[in-house]
Amino acid sequence: MPNNQPLTVFALDCGATNWRLYRAEYEAAGACARLISEPQPSPMTSFVDRRLPAAICLDPKGEALESFGEVAQQQLEDEACRERVREYFKPCIGSHLVENPLPHQKRFTHARALAYTRMLLQAVLGQVRQEKWRSGPFDDRVCFTFAYPIHWKYDHDGVVFDEFARTVRECFDPAFDRIRFVAEPEGAILSLSHRGQLDPQKTGKVTCIVDIGGSTTDIVAGRIDPRSGTLEYLGHYGEPFGGGLYDAELAKRIADDLAIPASALADDPSAILSLRVSAQRLKESLSRQLAHSEQARHVPQRTVTLVMRDGSIYRRVVALDEARFREVTGALDSQFRNLIEHALAAMPIRPQDIGPVVLVGGGSQLFSILGYLRERFGPQNIILADNPEEIVVQGIGLEYGAASRAAGPVTIIPPEPPAEKREPEIPSPEAGDAWSLKSADGSSSPLVAGVTKIGRGEGNDLQIDTLKVSRFHAEVKLSAGVLEVVDLGSTNGTFVNGERLTPREPRTLNPGDEVCFGAAKFICSK
């Protein structure tokens, strides 16, 4: 970029529920880029309340885009059109690589989810060109930055990220190369650092950034460098869990309230999509009241009308209070609690070392999640960022200046948490603890007294290099001659003699027992 030439950076956070667009201005300053205009929302005619619903409606042939955003979302109310509406497709990206994908990850194929992402992005870029760029071609005066879930790049050898990046680049002219990609947690860190919300004075404690989106939750942990105020990375963890799952469960209950027969929903499966919109708005209204108060001022309610494909009409006023919300979504709250425990087990940090826990992402405003985190880490440690749903998109708008400094990026996230690999020590025979795990190829891994970490990641004592094994899969503990194994919430499970273990519950092992970590089989030997 030549000196003194202004550069416009458009930042896009392509979320599962909503997309957000920010714009920032930079100018060259020697080898650096200086921010001359803070990242701000860049709304267009299709954006409502600074967001674009992640929804498209296909044409009758199902080959092209007919509408998108709120217009497409409104077509969910039209029984003649809603079967052509596609929404909440981001969770399905990469699902083909997951051993046991969750129901919301199986709504569309991976290829279809990418195709719908491409259609929506092409429509958004067309509006950017028309409304923000004077209908001219994108050139070296503009740059686009895209957020992505961190696990897309570091799981499955980065295949999901590579295909997402290729899909994005296909939406631009092949000659245009000013396209950047930033992990969502890193965007959050950049934004929080810029706002001064990462406290460099708390140098003895670990800071956790918890990003709860519509379909994924990513956690990054590190310590604040008192000199630079940036985060010294310790580890990350992510799972396909987000606020959109609550909408799906509440939508099912609304269908029960409307007394819609199961046979009618089976004949018109897209009808439940329309109910999700009502569920989302009821959930958000209740959370806005309870996130900062112990009692809601009023019970949110909506008149829900659903016209089925056969012409039958269902209409009722639906209310959502705290008791009903917890009854319907209690299993999801338990799932989130397990996610936090899995993250603590997977990252090289102790719960007692955790200080500030900064919440970002739209799902962080959900009152039940916020309440649990205050209970788990202490209310004084929980920081709910202002406009948390916009933290990531603001941060990736700041990335250009961070990455243009001579010193390099503010935060560099490596593929695995840094840790020294400990060579196993052979216990002395008289200790009575001479256990080992023998693999199918005949090799033997001696086990030492204490905890042996097992997984695909480099920080494990027993590293198993296969995609069927999670990065931090399980642990075995040897104490006083007794050997136990515990699953750490792995994707493909830990099995003892064919029985899948309940995560976090230890199982005592005996000589000759068969232990499988995913598809990796071992025999306990003593």
> Is there a contact between 401 and 35 (Cβ–Cβ < 8 Å)?
yes
- Asked if residue 120 has pLDDT above 80, the reply is yes
Q: What average pLDDT does range 302-326 have in this prediction? A: 93
Q: What is the pLDDT of residue 400?
A: 85
pLDDT band at residue 468, thresholds of 50, 70 and 90? confident
- Asked if residue 237 has pLDDT above 60, the reply is yes
Q: What average pLDDT does range 179-198 have in this prediction? A: 86
Q: For the purposes of burial, counting CB atoms within 10 Å of the CB of 340, is it exposed (0-12), middle (13-18) or buried (19 or more)?
A: buried
Q: What average pLDDT does range 467-486 have in this prediction? A: 84
- Asked if residue 140 has pLDDT above 80, the reply is yes
Q: What average pLDDT does range 169-183 have in this prediction? A: 93
Instruction: Find the distance separating the first CA and the last CA of the chain, reported in whole Å.
Output: 66
168 Rama class: left (phi>0) / alpha (psi -120 to 50) / beta: alpha
Q: What is the pLDDT of residue 45?
A: 92
Q: What stretches of 211-319 show up as alpha helix (H) in DSSP? A: 244-257, 262-267, 271-290
Q: What average pLDDT does range 107-115 have in this prediction? A: 93
Return the residue matching tokens 């007692």.
352
- Asked if residue 396 has pLDDT above 50, the reply is yes
Burial 383-399 (b: 16+ CB within 10 A, else e): bbbeebbbbbbbbbbbb
> Is there a contact between 55 and 143 (Cβ–Cβ < 8 Å)?
no
pLDDT band at residue 229, thresholds of 50, 70 and 90? low
Burial 168-188 (b: 16+ CB within 10 A, else e): beebbeeebebeebbbbbbbb
Helix, strand, or coil (residue 328): helix
Q: What is the pLDDT of residue 427?
A: 39
Q: What average pLDDT does range 276-300 have in this prediction? A: 88
Q: What is the pLDDT of residue 459?
A: 67
Q: For the purposes of burial, counting CB atoms within 10 Å of the CB of 505, is it exposed (0-12), middle (13-18) or buried (19 or more)?
A: exposed
Q: What is the pLDDT of residue 240?
A: 85
- Asked if residue 409 has pLDDT above 60, the reply is no
Cα–Cα dist 226/526, whole Å? 50
Q: What is the mean pLDDT of the chain?
A: 85
Q: What average pLDDT does range 402-407 have in this prediction? A: 46
Q: Note the pLDDT tens digit of each residue in 327-368.
A: 999 999 999 999 999 888 888 788 888 988 989 888 898 999
- Asked if residue 475 has pLDDT above 80, the reply is yes
Dihedral sign of CA atoms 364, 367, 370, 376 in order:
negative
Q: Note the pLDDT tens digit of each residue in 31-87.
A: 667 889 999 999 899 998 899 999 999 999 888 999 999 999 999 888 888 889 999
Return the residue matching tokens 């800071």.
207
Instruction: Using a pLDDT cut of 70, give the percent of the chain over it.
Output: 90
Q: What average pLDDT does range 306-315 have in this prediction? A: 90
Q: What is the pLDDT of residue 432?
A: 45
- The type of residue at 351 is P
Return the residue matching tokens 């338990």.
334
Cα–Cα dist 210/357, whole Å? 7
- Asked if residue 266 has pLDDT above 70, the reply is yes
Q: What is the pLDDT of residue 429?
A: 38
pLDDT band at residue 416, thresholds of 50, 70 and 90? very low
Which tokens sit at 6? 């202004």
Cα–Cα dist 174/172, whole Å? 6
Task: Please give the model's pTM, rounded to 2 decimal places.
Answer: 0.70
Q: What is the pLDDT of residue 4?
A: 63
- Asked if residue 211 has pLDDT above 80, the reply is yes
> Is there a contact between 418 and 49 (Cβ–Cβ < 8 Å)?
no
- Asked if residue 148 has pLDDT above 60, the reply is yes
Cα–Cα dist 71/56, whole Å? 8
pLDDT band at residue 203, thresholds of 50, 70 and 90? low
* C-alpha closest to that of 467 among 421, 519, 417, 416: 519
> Is there a contact between 199 and 356 (Cβ–Cβ < 8 Å)?
yes
Instruction: Using a pLDDT cut of 90, give the percent of the chain over it.
Output: 44
Q: What is the pLDDT of residue 301?
A: 94
